[in-house]
Amino acid sequence: MKTIRESWNREGYLDIPNFWAWDLTSNTFSISDNVNAILSLPSQTINNLDTLKSHLFSFDAKWLDFDTVKELTKNENYFEQKIRLYNAEGNFQFFQINGYVELRDKYEYALLLKGTFTHISYLIENPSKLPQPPVHKAEFELIINGIEAGIWDWDLQFDTIWWSSKFYELLGYQDDEIRTSFNTFFNTLLHKDDKAKVEQLIWEHLYEHKPYKTEIRLLCRSGEYKWFQTSGQAMWDKDGKPIKMAGSIIDITETVNYRSSLLKNEFLLNESAKLARIGAWEVDLKTQKVYWSESTKVIHEFPDNLETPSLTETLSYYPKTSRDKFIKAFDESVSLGRAFDISCEFLTYLQNKIWVRVIGSPLFDIQGNIIGVRGVIKNIDEEKQKELFLQDSLKIIHEQNRKLLNFAHIVSHNIRSHTSNLEMVSNFIEECDTEYERKLLLDNVQQISKQLSETISQLNEVLVTQSQVQQPKVRICFDDVLTKVKSIIQSELVLSGALIKSNFSSCESVYYIPAYLESILINLLSNAIQFRKPEVCPMITLSSWIENNKTVLQIEDNGIGIDLEKYKYKLFGMHHTFHKQTSGKGFGLFLIKNQLDLMGSKIEVESQENIGTTFKIIF
């Protein structure tokens, strides 16, 4: 304005309520404190160029830019600009800046600028004093009101804005409920986290002609923010100065919610897949390409940096034992359109053997042709191992139960056979007629009690044997144990004149419980001697070897043999004897069978009467 043409006293100018001065030499800027009062800011908040700039709307920043101002005043002594400053509530306040050049250097560049500022928000906010909002043709009006989009039309020269009825409606306002201005849009409706983005994008559109299209949150009457997609197009004058910008807003709250729930679901799916060790896979039959999800790679222990393998390569993850099963299921899925669900052994990239469950179903195109197979893979190793362990445990428990029951019967039967005798004999105590009978009775009682105690000690031996299963296994040389056993049964050997030959060269030792191995050898050797043929020198041959990864010990004799057809099932029972003429107690084989069972070993027997018997222990 031309009213401030006089020269101001440098010391006194700040007392004037709307004065400013800018010394471009030292780049010092002074402004009347009144500016703070107008913006409802504490005194001295804005007192230099930096504090002023921090309250300036970025679009207007160039008017306080050193170089711009220097260029602007090169040929003009006077200038006039509208700027927007933020007040304490964060709303724009419009100011008109008028300035003039007080001092120039020899190159005619301004050195000192002085001027006034005038608060003109009142003028801006009362559009009646300014040009009317745009008038649209009736056809446009129909379109504008008909579409599900709010239209905005922003006059950049006067900073006035026009919003279509739909614009208000989308936000839930009546037409006159909010002040229609860029300030309202930017400082009230727009979410604070979207401000910087919008500011930058509009600037880039206006001054760099980049497209303006973005997603923003706007405050609705309900107090909630809704998501909108907004886009717009500016109009420039012949000098390239933007004069107008118009555009639309579309409610995309649902889309955004849908998108975020999709993201959330994807996150949950990924996380649960990781947790549950489930991976997704898909095979495109046309391209033979294989897709693996993150978790699928993890299950395969497949390196991150490698390309997903081809369909044939994926088969290598199924070891021989399960490959056919997988191929059959997959082929049926492709040829018959059948879904499959198989559990099988699986070999990871790092060659770890695990159990997986693979579920797949065919993919159809619109014509109903099978174009692929899609499914999931789950690492079920832990479950499977537990299941197998449980099966094993169950088997062991059944076996233990069977053994216990068997033992209970053995105990009851063997003890009962003596006690029933005792009972019977004692019934006759009163009825013995003769001295002979009385003596016989007492002898019998003595005999029975001896047998009873023998039986009890045998049963006890079985129990001791069973508790020995806890003893540690050690490597035992067959030669050593044979030497020891020979010395234990030395008297039997000497009396019978038995010859023992051994050849343990194929397999010299076994990993076993020493007490068991000794007991097994003692019993088998004693049996061989006891059931020797009369008149024939007993020959016992021991040998060992490896068969099917297992140690085998064989004890062969030239004794009287056993009729296996008759006694096969009784051979290892308690108190079964098969030969009338000898003093067999029917206990040795029962005991060693018990020991072998406890160790999971097997015993096989071959025999021919009058030729000999061969026992084979498979450890």
Partner 1 sequence: MKPVETICVIDDDNIYGFWVKKLLVSKNFCKSLTIFENGLAGFNYFNELVVGDGVIPDLILLDINMPVMDGWEFLEEFSKIKNKFEKDIPIYVVSSSINPADIERAKGFGEVSGFITKPLTFDNLKQIKLFQD
Q: Which residues bind partner 1 (CB under 8 A)?
A: 409, 412-413, 416-417, 419-421, 423-425, 427-428, 431, 437, 440, 444, 447-448, 566, 570, 575-580, 584
| Residue 568 Cβ vs partner 1, minimum distance, rounded to whole Å | 13
> With respect to partner 1, which residue has the nearer C-beta, 210 or 413?
413
CA 101 to each of CA 11, 70, 78: distance values in angstroms, whole numbers, following the listed order: 18, 10, 7
> With respect to partner 1, which residue has the nearer C-beta, 288 or 446?
446
Backbone Cα Rg of the chain: 52
> With respect to partner 1, which residue has the nearer C-beta, 123 or 462?
462
> With respect to partner 1, which residue has the nearer C-beta, 424 or 464?
424
| Residue 420 Cβ vs partner 1, minimum distance, rounded to whole Å | 4
Q: 283 CB contacts (<8 Å, ≥6 apart)?
A: 289, 290, 291, 311, 372, 373, 374
> With respect to partner 1, which residue has the nearer C-beta, 478 or 587?
587
DSSP string, 490-507: HHHHHHHT-EEEEE-SS-
| Residue 419 Cβ vs partner 1, minimum distance, rounded to whole Å | 8
Please, which residues bridge with residue 218 across strands?
Answer: 190, 226
Amino acid, res. 333: S
- The overall longest dimension of the chain from CA atoms, in Å, is 165
> With respect to partner 1, which residue has the nearer C-beta, 195 or 575?
575
Task: Please answer whether residues 186 and 214 qualify as being in contact, where contact means their C-beta atoms are separated by less than 8 angstroms.
Answer: no
> With respect to partner 1, which residue has the nearer C-beta, 217 or 418?
418
| Residue 270 Cβ vs partner 1, minimum distance, rounded to whole Å | 60
| Residue 407 Cβ vs partner 1, minimum distance, rounded to whole Å | 12
Amino acid, res. 484: K
Eight-state DSSP code of residue 554: E
- Alpha helices for 343-477 (secondary structure H): 381-426, 435-467
Q: 439 CB contacts (<8 Å, ≥6 apart)?
A: none
Task: Please answer whether residues 152 and 249 qualify as being in contact, where contact means their C-beta atoms are separated by less than 8 angstroms.
Answer: yes
The residue among 128, 179, 162, 169 whose CA lies nearest residue 245 is: 162
Please, which residues bridge with residue 553 across strands?
Answer: 544, 617
The residue among 278, 290, 286 whose CA lies nearest residue 316 is: 290
Task: Please answer whether residues 291 and 377 qualify as being in contact, where contact means their C-beta atoms are separated by less than 8 angstroms.
Answer: no
> With respect to partner 1, which residue has the nearer C-beta, 487 or 581?
581
Task: Decide: helix, strand or coil at residue 555.
Answer: strand
Pairing assessment for the beta strands 353-364 and 370-379 based on DSSP bridges: antiparallel
| Residue 443 Cβ vs partner 1, minimum distance, rounded to whole Å | 9
CA-to-CA distance for 311 and 528, rounded, in angstroms?
64
| Residue 510 Cβ vs partner 1, minimum distance, rounded to whole Å | 34
Number of C-beta neighbours around residue 43 at 10 A: 10
> With respect to partner 1, which residue has the nearer C-beta, 74 or 416?
416
> With respect to partner 1, which residue has the nearer C-beta, 25 or 582?
582
Task: Decide: helix, strand or coil at residue 508.
Answer: coil
| Residue 572 Cβ vs partner 1, minimum distance, rounded to whole Å | 15
The number of angstroms, rounded, from the C-alpha of 553 to the middle of its chain's C-alpha atoms is 51
Q: At what angle do helices 588-599 and 435-467 cross, to 10 degrees?
A: 20
Residue with tokens 């990993």: 511
What distance, in Å, lies between the first and last C-alpha atoms of the chain? 115
| Residue 578 Cβ vs partner 1, minimum distance, rounded to whole Å | 6
> With respect to partner 1, which residue has the nearer C-beta, 111 or 425?
425
| Residue 549 Cβ vs partner 1, minimum distance, rounded to whole Å | 37
Please, which residues bridge with residue 555 across strands?
Answer: 542, 615
> With respect to partner 1, which residue has the nearer C-beta, 484 or 575?
575
Task: Please answer whether residues 95 and 81 qualify as being in contact, where contact means their C-beta atoms are separated by less than 8 angstroms.
Answer: no
> With respect to partner 1, which residue has the nearer C-beta, 342 or 425?
425
Q: What are the E-state strand segments in 48-91?
A: 78-86
> With respect to partner 1, which residue has the nearer C-beta, 423 or 480?
423
| Residue 410 Cβ vs partner 1, minimum distance, rounded to whole Å | 9
| Residue 577 Cβ vs partner 1, minimum distance, rounded to whole Å | 4
For residue 506, which phi and psi values (nearest 5 degrees)?
Answer: -75, -30
| Residue 403 Cβ vs partner 1, minimum distance, rounded to whole Å | 15
| Residue 386 Cβ vs partner 1, minimum distance, rounded to whole Å | 35
> With respect to partner 1, which residue has the nearer C-beta, 393 or 412?
412
CA-to-CA distance for 130 and 141, rounded, in angstroms?
23
The number of angstroms, rounded, from the C-alpha of 308 to the middle of its chain's C-alpha atoms is 20
Pairing assessment for the beta strands 539-547 and 499-503 based on DSSP bridges: parallel
Task: Please answer whether residues 115 and 23 qualify as being in contact, where contact means their C-beta atoms are separated by less than 8 angstroms.
Answer: no
Helices (H) and strands (E) in the chain, counts: 19, 22
| Residue 608 Cβ vs partner 1, minimum distance, rounded to whole Å | 18
| Residue 570 Cβ vs partner 1, minimum distance, rounded to whole Å | 8
For residue 297, which phi and psi values (nearest 5 degrees)?
Answer: -60, -40
